[in-house]
């Protein structure tokens, strides 16, 4: 599971069906010993923890891996780290790394790899849980209007969601500081001001400012208050949203920056529902990846 966009529409719907079944307390356990490791080279709360919970719910053996105490700090390459884990019996690795397409170097290693986020590239498990949340609300994606607001240029969440939502028949709009958009993004989506966007879309998907990816780009620095006033979801903008429209955010949330603090848990918000769905979506991904390697669940 490297890029959701590489999957067929049929396969995406199948994963969503699996995730929905898990959300209804469907219990499945691995019928044999399966060993998995979560390698997170960037900070994470939701993704890492929900993969851990998903793995344990499926009866998998989770082998602790602490990047800060690993041989990576002695100069070991990512390839050799994964090759080592495979050699000692790990069947599947969930990996988050700052390098885009880090997974390309593992083609000669017979091990299941799940992309937990690759730089500014893709975030397939976040994409699936977002799709699950939208499907629960609207039933289908065809004709749906989704607005992605914020740091699109540096967001793997935006990349994954925009590409797959269009594939499923939704129309994607963008908003935020215009210097955070490249030509490809504008061509493949419609840019609107935040005030116009909130009136148009069924889903307002807010993005965190990726401060850690702006180190060498001083012109992209904004004060929290200025960003919130110009590009954030304020209480006034929430009131202009369509009836039945929902608010989403992959988190972590900067309250008072991309979204007013009082809107994080308002009746439109599905932010914590997304987190809940994250476990079920990741269970579906893990099960599907391991079944492709011949493992069984009952």
Please report, to the nearest 10 degrees, the dihedral formed by the alpha carbons of residues 37, 43, 49, 52 taken in order: 0
DSSP type of residue 255: B
Which contiguous run of DSSP H or E holds residue 35? strand 35-40
What is the C-alpha to C-alpha distance for residues 103 and 91, in angstroms, rounded to an integer? 15
Q: Are 276 and 283 in contact (CB under 8 A)?
A: no
- Pair of tokens at residue 73: 């700090």
What is the C-alpha to C-alpha distance for residues 162 and 146, in angstroms, rounded to an integer? 9
- Pair of tokens at residue 211: 């401060």
Domains of the chain: 9-122+276-292 (3.40.50.1370), 124-270 (3.40.50.1370)
Backbone phi, then psi, for 256, in 5-degree steps? 85, 5
**pLDDT score at 154:** 78
46 labeled part of a ligand binding site? yes
Per-residue pLDDT of the chain (298 residues; tens, 9 = 90+): 999 999 999 999 999 999 999 999 999 999 999 999 999 999 899 999 999 999 999 999 999 998 888 898 889 999 999 999 999 999 999 999 999 999 999 988 999 999 999 988 899 999 999 999 999 999 999 999 999 999 887 788 988 999 999 999 999 999 988 777 765 555 566 889 999 999 999 999 999 876 555 555 555 567 888 999 999 999 999 999 999 999 999 999 999 999 999 999 999 999 999 999 999 999 999 999 999 999 999 9
156 labeled part of a ligand binding site? yes
- Cross-strand bridge partners of residue 118: 97
What is the C-alpha to C-alpha distance for residues 78 and 98, in angstroms, rounded to an integer? 12
- Pair of tokens at residue 6: 């590489």
CA torsion sign for 209, 215, 220, 221 is positive
Q: Are 173 and 191 in contact (CB under 8 A)?
A: yes
**Buried-exposed string 164-194: b where 16+ CB fall within 10 A, e elsewhere:** bbbebebbbbbbbbeebbeeebeeebeebeb
**pLDDT score at 179:** 75
208 labeled part of a ligand binding site? yes
252 labeled part of a ligand binding site? yes
74 labeled part of a ligand binding site? yes
What is the C-alpha to C-alpha distance for residues 128 and 110, in angstroms, rounded to an integer? 25
123 labeled part of a ligand binding site? yes
What is the C-alpha to C-alpha distance for residues 239 and 235, in angstroms, rounded to an integer? 6
**pLDDT score at 177:** 85
């Amino acid at each position: 599971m490297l890029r959701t966009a590489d999957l067929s529409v049929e396969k995406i719907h199948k994963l969503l069906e699996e995730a929905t079944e898990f959300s209804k307390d469907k219990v499945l356990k691995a019928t044999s010993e399966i060993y998995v490791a979560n390698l997170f080279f960037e900070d994470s709360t939701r993704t890492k923890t929900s993969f851990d919970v998903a793995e344990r719910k499926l009866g998998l053996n989770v082998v602790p891996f602490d990047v800060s105490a690993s041989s990576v700090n002695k100069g070991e390459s990512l390839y050799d780290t994964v090759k080592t884990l495979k050699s000692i019996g790990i069947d599947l690795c969930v990996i988050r790394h700052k390098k885009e397409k880090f997974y390309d170097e593992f083609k000669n290693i017979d091990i299941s790899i799940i992309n937990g986020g690759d730089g500014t590239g893709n975030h397939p498990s976040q994409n699936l849980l977002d799709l699950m949340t939208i499907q629960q609300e609207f039933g289908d994606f065809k004709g749906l209007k989704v607005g992605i607001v914020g740091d699109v240029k540096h967001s793997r969440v935006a990349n994954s969601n925009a590409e797959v939502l269009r594939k499923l028949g939704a129309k994607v709009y963008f908003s935020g500081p215009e210097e955070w958009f490249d030509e490809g993004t504008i061509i493949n989506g419609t840019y609107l001001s935040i005030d116009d966007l909130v009136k148009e879309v069924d889903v307002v998907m807010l993005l965190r400012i990726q401060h850690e990816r702006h180190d060498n780009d001083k012109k992209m620095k904004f004060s929290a208050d200025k960003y919130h006033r110009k590009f954030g979801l304020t209480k006034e903008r929430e009131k202009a949203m369509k009836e039945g429209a929902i608010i989403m955010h992959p988190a972590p949330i900067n309250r008072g920056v991309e979204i007013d603090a009082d809107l994080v848990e308002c009746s439109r918000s599905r932010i914590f529902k997304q987190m809940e769905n994250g476990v079920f979506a990741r269970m579906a991904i893990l099960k599907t990846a391991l079944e492709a390697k011949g493992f069984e669940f009952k």
